[in-house]
Each structure stands twice: as structure tokens, then as C-alpha cells.
Structure 1
Amino acid sequence: MLTTRFADGAPNWIDVATPDIAGAASFYGDLLGWRFRSAGPDAGGYGFFQLDGRTVAGGMQTGPGQSPPAWTVYFRSKDAQATAEAAEQAHGSVLRQPTDVMDQGRMAVLADRAGVVFGIWQPGQTEGLDAANEPGALCWVELYTPDIAAAAAFYRKVLGLETSAASFPGKTYTCVNPSGADDAVFGGMVPLADASAEAQAGAGPYWLPYFEVENPDAVADRAQRLGGAVRLPPTTVPGVGRMAQLADPYGARFAVIRSESAQD
């Protein structure tokens, strides 16, 4: 599971790019109880979504022609430059070269072999998010990709990630964990072909973040009332929990789940 005891290769940050940060703040505030706080005049419009005073995500406004509305998952790296070079060697690409973020850390934006965008965060003063795996916070990430084997090889070379198989009725799920920590599974990989037409509509491969909630059905209904969309209606997966895949009013995709571990 995700924790704030971040290991190299595990997600330690997440942010959303949106054409309307005020509108996104209103949406996620009403949906998940978040409050948006600007990082200040020197941050280029970047800010933090907080829950009970703790940072659970970041957000930034984009202009015309910039990146489309989307959530980006960042993975912990002890050396962002080395990780960026490893991504290129593994036939990925560097979309934004490693850059210092004041004294808070060092970040880069990369893409894997299939073109899936993800970030790297090398901690400085900021280790990562303040909360994980609790209501309103990031609890899981899932990669939708056309080639599981190729993705597994890429992320192993670049981030040291390991994969394992979990069996469910009718299918096998590929779990992901940091190197040498098979008890710290934080996400999974799903064949793009297995995504429902509604969930996949208009998207290529991508990382999908999951936020823990107490009532996915109510959250899905509220998302629609707030101008968002339900990409996959609330569904129960035995042994996992009840989940729904959504999009905010600008098209950024995310999911919510009431995991069985949280219920227990």
C-alpha cells in the first residue's frame, strides 16, 4: 500500500494540470473536501490541495496549447538526472529536464515507451505528500498500457520496480512494488484492451490515480452534479473494494475507491 514512508520508485507526489485552477479547486473541494493554497507569486501559479492542513496533491493552471488536462503521478528518485538518462536509454523520453524547485526538491517529467507521461521527484526540503492511503488521499496508482511486459521492463530499468501476479476470477492482475519490497505494493498494470469502452473513451495509455473515499457511489453521483463525468460506474471487486473511475469537468481522469483494507 501507499504510505508517506516513501521508498525509491514509489509514488511520492501527484498533481493536476488544468485550464482553470479556480474551477478545479471548487470541484475537488466539493468532491473530496480539499482546499487549494497557492504556493506564492514565485511558483508560476502552482499550488497545493490540502485536507485538514495536510498536502494531498498539487495543481497548476495551463495555458492554450500547453499540456492537456491530466493528473501526473511522480515517483521518488534519489537522482533525477540519472533516472532521466535511464528513461532515454530504455527508449522512453524526457519531456522536461531535471529542474530544481527552489530548495524543495528536483523534478523531471518523463514518458515511457508507450508515451505515458509520469514525473520524478527527488526530495529536498519536501519529501512528498503529507497523507496517503486514507480518506481523501492518494491510495493506489494504475497503469493502462498496450504492452504489460514492455512496461514492466521499462519501469524496472528506470525506477527499479518489480511486478507480481495476483489472481482474480477470470483474470490475472499485475501488481507493482519498489525493488525488494514485495510487501509494499502500491499499484498495478492493466492491459489497455481490458479497459471498458466508456472508461477508455478518448484516451491512450495513462497512469490513473486512485483516492480513498468512504462512499464511492455518493462521490460518483456528486462528481456528475459538479460537472464531471463517470467513466466507469461504481463496481465492487471482491477482495479489493468498491471503486469508480471519474473525470473532472476539464477531462482529467482519476478514480475513487473504498478499499476493503479501509473497511476492515
Structure 2
Amino acid sequence: MPVRDEAWPPGTPCWVDCQVDDPAKAGEFYAALFDWDVRGGGEDAGGYLMAFRGGQPVAGIGPKPEVGVPSVWTTYFAVPDADASAAAVTAAGGRMLVPPFDVMEFGRMFVAADVSGAPFAIWEARAHNGAAVHNEHGAYTWSDLHTGAYAEAKAFYASVFGFTYAEFDDPAMRYATLIPPDRTEPVGGINDDSANGAAPEQPYWLTWFQFDGLDDGLRRAAELGATVLLPAQDGPFGRMAILAAPQGELFALLDPSKTMGKMPAPQD
């Protein structure tokens, strides 16, 4: 089991959490699907729940910031200085949804929208580094942005995080992976949903969890009340599917053992 015990490198998705109407019910759903141990939810934590695998944190589940907003999964990017990153976001054309604030002794964060309107979060680690368990069954493994403003989003994230991109040369899809400065491995992706004529009205970051034996996972998710939006299919990263949980938040499953096709090459 890969376990991380230090802060994630800058620009890396380091944490995911969902905001729902009923965190306790969501905790029951994800615990049954991913074999998570879900704890917390007290008043001192604002009703926020932490999910663990093998005693290590994997994700969070919390209440919505206000009534009536959609249930969502949020991707957090690691940074060394949240306030400096907030300035970079606004300079690049993004906007603050929740300005920087301290999360007790655990870290400092903010929530913003990129130039296409997709929400994301920033995490400056202190006592809490983010996900300690990753890239294994039942844990976070990937995040990608779904937007119709592909070029604008690439320019925005390059400005904020210094990303370069590796692109798929495929007429069936337009997709770029995010590569932080001084690194060669991608940490996430941007999907041009306008390429297939299905750009979302509200752009969003999609959270992917690894699930070994994905078809069994889809059957189990359906038994627990989830809706399969994109049936299982094989792709360049593995066998994948997209679902809506019982409270409506989108998430995706990936079985990386079923990889097919070619990976993208760095762009010139």
C-alpha cells in the first residue's frame, strides 16, 4: 500500500472531498463501496467526516456550504503558500469562491473557480498533508477537468501552477495531461468536452477512484443506489466508468490493470 507521510509537491492534487446534504448517508455509501472507515462529524469539525483505509486518510465528506447547491466532489491542489496562489488565481482570470482561511492547525485553503467556471480548491499543508493512501483499490487515483473552454483552461492552469501538457493525438478525443514544473509524470488532465459536442453547462473537476474489478464495482454501486452514467469501457488509462452517487455527486472508477491504447506524448 503506497502511503505518503509528507506534503505533496506543488501543483499535485493532494486531497478530495465531497459536499452533500447528508454526510452521514454519503459516508455509509462510500464505506460500503470502497471499504472505508469513516470517522468524525462532530460539531468541532463542522460536521466534516474523514475516510480512512488501513488507518490512513483517503478523502473527506462534509456538508454543503449552503442549501440548494449541487452535491460535488472537490479536487485540492497542493501549494506551499495559499495566499500567493490566491493572487495567482485572480491574476490569471479566476475568481475566489471562498477566500483563504485557516483550517484549525491542519492547513490553509481556499476555493476558487477557474476561467471556465470550474470550482477547485487549494491546500497549504500543515498538520494534514492530504491523502496518505493513493493509487490503490478504494483510494483516489486521478482528477480531470471537463470543460468546453479547453485552450483557456490550459492557459489558466499553466499560469497558476506552471503546468506543461502532454496531449492525445486522437480524433475521438481532445485531452491533455498536466505536468508540474521539474517533473515528468502527469498529475491530472483536461478534457475538451466540446470536441464531442457535449460541453457541460457547468465545467467541473471529476474525481477518479481506483477499483480493481471495475464491473463488479459497478454492480455493487448500483445495489447501493448509485446511477451509472458512463458504462464500463476500456481506454488508454484503464477500464473506466462514471457514476452519480445517491445524493447526485459525480465520481469515476478506474481499473488501471486494463490499460489499452497509447499514452500522450509531451507537446512541443
TM-score using structure 2 length: 0.88
Q: CA deviation at 1:67?
A: 3.7
CA contact (8 A) 2:120 2:205 kept: yes
The 8 Å contact of residues 174 and 191 in structure 2, kept in 1 or not, is answered as: no
Mapped partners of 2:56, 2:258: distance in 1: 22
Matches within 5 A, 1:34-49: 34-38=36-40, 40-49=42-51
Tell me whether 1:142 sits opposite 2:144 in the alignment.
Answer: yes
2:89 counterpart SS class: helix
Matched, 1:249 2:249: no
One-letter code aligned to 1:88: T
Q: In the alignment, does 2:215 pair up with 1:217?
A: yes
Which residue matches 1:155? 157
**Contact 1:212–1:256, Cα closer than 8 Å, also in 2:** yes
Q: What whole-Å deviation, never above 9, does each CA across 1:54-105 have from its counterpart, x for those lacking one?
A: 1110111227525421000000011111111111111110111111111111
Which residue of structure 2 lines up, in the alignment, with residue 20 of structure 1? 22
> How many matched pairs?
257
* C-alpha spacing 1:187/1:64, structure 2 compared with 1 (3 Å): closer
Give, in whole Å, the separation in 2 of the partners of 1:213 and 1:53. Answer: 19
Question: Structure 1's 26 and 254: CA in aligned 2 closer, same or farther, altered over 3 A?
Answer: same
Give the equivalent residue in structure 2 for 1:60.
Answer: 62
Name the counterpart of 2:229.
231
CA–CA distance in structure 1, aligned partners of residues 75 and 27 of structure 2: 18
Q: Report what 2:189 is aligned to.
A: 188
| Distance (whole Å) between structure 1 residues aligned to residue 231 and residue 34 of structure 2 | 18
- Whether the aligned pair in 2 keeps the contact of 1:19 and 1:63 (CA below 8 Å) is no
Q: Is the 8 A contact 1:100 1:106 kept in 2?
A: yes
Structure 2 residue matching 1:217: 3-state secondary structure: helix
Conserved? CA contact 1:49–1:56, under 8 Å: yes
Q: Give the TM-score normalised by structure 1.
A: 0.90
Q: CA RMSD in A?
A: 2.3
Structure 1 residue 260: Cα displacement: 3.1
Identity of aligned residues (%): 36
Q: Which moved more, 1:124-133 or 1:57-66?
A: 57-66
Where structure 2 has 5 or more consecutive residues not aligned to the other structure, the ranges are 261-268
Q: Cα gap change, 1:156/1:257 in structure 2, threshold over 3 Å: closer, same or farther?
A: same
> Which segments of 5 or more consecutive residues in structure 1 lack a partner in the other structure?
none
Deviations 1:171-221 (A, max 9, x none): 453111212212x21211111224686xx7x85210001101111111112
Q: 1:212 to 1:195 in 2, by over 3 A?
A: farther
SS of alignment partner, residue 218 of structure 1: helix
Q: 1:235 to 1:3 in 2, by over 3 A?
A: farther
User: Which moves more between the two structures, 32-41 or 73-82?
Assistant: 32-41
